[in-house]
A and B are shown apart, each in its own frame.
Chain A
Amino acid sequence: MRVVIAEDAVLLREGLAGLLERFGHTVVASVGDAPALVEAVTEHRPEAVVTDVRMPPGFTDEGLRAALELRAGNPGLAVLVLSQYVEQTYAAELLESGGGAGVGYLLKDRIGDVREFVDALDRVAAGGTVVDPEVVRQLLRRRRDPLARLTPREQEVLGLIAEGRSNASIGKELHVTEAAVAKHIANIFAKLDLPPAADGHRRVLAVLTYLKG
């Protein structure tokens, strides 16, 4: 997969590039600020972008804004946003872009778990949605309607969906059969009033409901 990396800390940028190349990806450009990111994507047309939230020139949320802008202009561009801390506002903005397909929001800490990190990037590139477990954990604390209607087990399953897990992976995590997972998910969709017609994106919609609290 062809990837563009945007990260202003040189050490981390080089490390990320090395990491991704080791797992067989091609880093076509690695840049240090938001304008350069937009330029690199326009020039190289990568399949995925890995970007930091806070970047020069303003050191606010340039990276996130650039990512949203790029997704608006390049449907199908997968974006994995790395953040130094959990920020629900940013996660929600990101997931709302393009219906949440092909986006991920992870804490920088997760880069250390190299295999999981690369898996997350693959899931995002395959059109999946990945939300950091820490965001999920915070959201679980706020049991607001309609989420209050979910059983603890269903909330757990929803949390794992938010992490971009497949039914098989969820089953393995919770030590239940895939059929049981499917049943939980059907209950979640019903309780969150998500009609079967929207099937393809129902998982994303469920996560969005979740994020908006």
Chain B
Amino acid sequence: MLNRTALEALTRRPLPFLASAWPWRGAAYLAASAVPGLAAGLVVAAVAAGTLVSTALGVVAGLAALAVAAVVVAPFERLRLRLVDAVPVPRVRNRRGREAALAVMTLFVLWWIDLIMLSVTIGGPVVLALTPVLQGELAPLAGVLSTVAGVLLLPVAAYTITAWGGARGAMARAVLAPAQSELSEVLRSRARLVDAFEMERRRIERDLHDGAQQRLVSLSMSLGLAGLDLPEGSEAARLVRQAHDEAKRALAELRELIRGVHSQVLTDRGLAAAVQDVAGRSPVPVDVDVELPGRLPAPVEVTAYYVVTEALANLAKHSGAARGSVTGRVERGTLVVEVRDDGAGGADPARGTGLTGLADRLAVVEGRLSLSSPPGGPTRLRAEIPC
């Protein structure tokens, strides 16, 4: 198992844990509290020095020193968090404010708890172990016993240090980035991935359209012209016609490919036109009733378009339906798209990746997918996307 935080490391079996770097990292994390301790000392010194002149100056000097210390301590806290927590801290709004809060907490409370914790847990066993040296007049047996006790307590200290270091790290993380922010960061990173894929698809479509397709059209045109000049019935005419037919087939295939990669009409004219278009190409007749107040945000349009394309592809392949329908409306700030058919029903998200893929895509835009497909039909697929 991968341990990415000190707290997770505590759950390992004792020997691998004790042999790992985690107790040392925990100790280093706590020892580093000497730095905010020093900063706190400087704040106190500033207050004391100011108060020698006047109370007001003491307050002012103290606040100024605190502000400076907070600015210095915050990045330090963020940096040393990596010792006990290897998970990256997500970017959140109001980052400066959160860092300042953590710095103040550290300056006033946490640093001395850290240092006391460290000195007691390490210092206790060490003092015990060194008893024979420190107290020469002790009975030899008692000396040996306390040395053994001290050595045996050291592993316990490793646990205590790692536990406090981990808890302290969790606290710092909670202040720097509250729990939901990680979820929204995940959502955002998924949205970024989907956007990147979308960009890539558009680039591929553009390249095919501007490159291969134009060249094939030119080739087809040249072959057509060549055919005009060749004597009817000659071998050359036959070969040219054959090549021409091949070029036309390649063009037709390329056209389908390009369309599958990216819908230009979706970009140009929006969801209603694109749905009309994809329904028009369905081998099963599909009624379209999509009325929208205008263009919707691009991610919403693209997601809804994929839902419809995938649903219509399923409808044609599996449903056995004679007729289908697509409706689309915006109701109270949510785009609701429904695809229905009069087919055999029994569509199951557990089989095949199509429906799960749709649900995943919808999740990125915080949408929902619901499916009703009893055996015997009819099938009704409903997607809701906030917009």
Contacts and interface: CB of A to CB of B under 8 A. Distances in A.
Interface of A: 9, 11-12, 15-16, 19, 22, 54, 59-61, 84-85, 87-90, 107-109, 111-115, 138-139, 141-144, 213
A93 to B, nearest CB: 9
Contact of A60 (B209, B247, B268): B268
A84 B268 contact: no
Contact of A112 (B223, B265, B277): B223
Contact of B273 (A89, A109, A114): A89
A22 B215 contact: no
A54 B209 contact: yes
Contacts of B221: 12, 15-16, 19, 111-112, 114
A15 B269 contact: no
Nearest to B270: A89
Given A112-B223, A114-B228, A88 B218 contact: no
A9 B210 contact: yes
A12 B264 CA distance: 21
A50 B267 CA distance: 24
12 contacts: A12-B221, A84-B213, A89-B276, A107-B255, A108-B213, A109-B255, A112-B248, A112-B251, A114-B224, A141-B280, A141-B282, A142-B285
B217 A108 contact: yes
B280 A139 contact: yes
Nearest to B249: A109
Contacts of B265: 87, 89-90
A112 B244 contact: yes
A60 to B, nearest CB: 4
Contacts of B218: 11-12, 15
B277 A89 contact: yes
Contacts of B287: 144
Main secondary structure of the interface of B (DSSP, over half): helix
Contacts of A16: 221
A114 B217 CA distance: 11
A144 B251 CA distance: 30
Interface string B217-237: 110111111011000000000
Main secondary structure of the interface of A (DSSP, over half): helix
B283 interface: yes
Given A54-B209, A87-B265, A11 B228 contact: no
B307 interface: no
Contact of B217 (A60, A85, A89, A109): A109
A59 B218 CA distance: 20
CB-CB nearest 5 A-B residue pairs: A112-B220, A114-B224, A9-B214, A89-B273, A60-B268
B258 interface: yes
B225 A11 contact: no
A60 B259 contact: no
Interface string B39-63: 0000000000000000000000000
A22 B225 contact: yes
Contact of B267 (A9, A15, A60, A107): A60
Contacts of A19: 221, 225
B286 interface: yes
Contacts of B276: 88-89
Contacts of B332: none
Interface in B135-176: none
Given A88-B277, A89-B273, A115-B228, A143 B220 contact: no
Interface in B245-301: 247-248, 251-252, 255, 258-259, 264-265, 267-269, 273, 276-277, 279-283, 285-287
A121 to B, nearest CB: 14
B291 to A, nearest CB: 15
A87 B255 CA distance: 12
B201 interface: no
B225 A114 contact: yes
A20 B364 CA distance: 51
B82 interface: no
A14 to B, nearest CB: 9
Kindly name the residue among A107, A115, A141 whose own CB sees the greatest number of chain B CB atoms within 10 A: A141
Contacts of B251: 108-109, 112
A143 B214 CA distance: 34
Contact of A84 (B227, B228, B258): B258
Interface in B332-368: none
Given A15-B222, A114-B224, A138 B280 contact: yes
Nearest to A8: B210
Contacts of A90: 265
A11 B215 contact: yes
Kindly name the residue among B214, B217, B225, B285 whose own CB sees the greatest number of chain A CB atoms within 10 A: B217
A111 B264 CA distance: 21
A16 B227 CA distance: 16
Nearest to A11: B218
A142 B287 CA distance: 8
Contacts of B210: 9
A141 B285 contact: yes
A109 B252 contact: yes
Contacts of B269: 61, 89
B167 to A, nearest CB: 57
Contact of A54 (B252, B264, B283, B285): B264
